[in-house]
Amino acid sequence: MSEALLEVNALSMRFGGLLAVDQVAFSLQPKEIFAIIGPNGAGKTTVFNCISGFYQPSGGGITLAGSSIAGLGSHNVARRGVVRTFQNVRLFKSMTALENLLVAQHRQARTSFLAGLFNTAGYRRAEQQALDNALHWLDYMGLRAYANRPAGNLAYGHQRRLEIARCMITKPQVLMLDEPAAGLNPQEKKDLQHLIDQLRQQHGVAVLLIEHDMGLVMGVSERILVMEYGKPIAMGTPEAIRHDERVIKAYLGEA
Ligand SMILES: Nc1ncnc2c1ncn2[C@@H]1O[C@H](COP(=O)(O)OP(=O)(O)OP(=O)(O)O)[C@@H](O)[C@H]1O
């Protein structure tokens, strides 16, 4: 196996008396599609919040290509190439689809205020590049026709695709998707599965996925980590996970 891109070691997160994440460990290989599943409240989103810098973990380590990113804060983690979507889509709803993609690049580029003020040639070139990138990603996601619509007015499935485009336009190494299939119809779910695979193939991104839709998880993931009550209870290929007794019990126990 090649060297891990992202390593999570003995990760723990405590909220008062609740140990929401307890000794979670896994690694993500370059270009791997890896899913975290588990019943409601298992701690999946909390793991995401720790990795993406929204929470400072109570314990354990998180490294990206060998360097620690634990506790760096969400902006710094994103700048290092680990970006995410949210369970409830978070876009700038009153800005257009195109503007959402331009803002994502500005935040990343830290464009100089003075260069903008004096409208230097370099600044204009960067602006044109940002516009070209944004239009490219709107095309890629089948959203070009909606470029000038406020993001909040787009159909839900389109908002989800725009949110993924907003991540991808920053050229991440790791794309983290938190329940990307929630609220999508069956055709949109199929398209999403194809999209995730395509992003990995064409853009070399590794994907970390939280998802309740087992069809999508089993169809797209190479490996799956199963959590229950904050703890990892199984990890393996979709085939192994499907037949794991603890996993079956965790899910049947929920019904
Ligand atoms: N900021 C917080 N403060 C206190 N408790 C929290 C906080 N965030 C999450 N929790 C608790 O931690 C536990 C794990 O929550 P988390 O959202 O990570 O689970 P999940 O596996 O993502 O669930 P779901 O599938 O429902 O999204 C839950 O008991 C939750 O109530």
Amino acid 255: pLDDT: 44
ipTM above 0.90?
yes
- 139 CA distance to ligand 1 middle (Å): 36
Pocket flag, ligand 1, residue 42 (CB < 6 Å): yes
Strands (E), the chain: 6-15, 18-28, 33-37, 59-64, 67-68, 82-84, 174-178, 206-210, 223-228, 231-236
Say if residues 57 and 48 touch (Cβ distance below 8 Å).
no
Q: For every one of its 255 residues, what pLDDT tens digit does the chain have, with 9 covering 90 and above?
A: 558 999 999 999 999 999 999 999 999 999 999 999 999 999 999 999 999 999 999 999 999 999 999 999 999 999 999 999 998 889 999 999 999 999 988 766 655 666 666 677 777 788 888 999 999 999 999 999 999 999 999 999 999 999 999 999 999 999 999 999 999 999 999 999 999 999 999 999 999 999 999 999 999 999 999 999 999 999 999 999 999 998 888 876 654
Amino acid 162: pLDDT: 97
**Helix, strand, coil proportions of the chain in percent (round to 5)?**
45, 25, 35
Pocket flag, ligand 1, residue 177 (CB < 6 Å): no
Say what the pTM is. Answer: 0.91
Pocket flag, ligand 1, residue 148 (CB < 6 Å): no
Pocket flag, ligand 1, residue 46 (CB < 6 Å): yes
List Cβ neighbours of 88 (8 Å cut-off, separation of 6 or more).
Answer: none
Pocket flag, ligand 1, residue 200 (CB < 6 Å): no
Amino acid 11: pLDDT: 98
- 43 CA distance to ligand 1 middle (Å): 5
Amino acid 251: pLDDT: 77
Give the closest residue (by CA) to ligand 1 atom 2. 15
**Hunting for tokens 């995410």 — which residue is that?**
84
Nearest-angstrom CA–CA distance, 117 and 52: 33
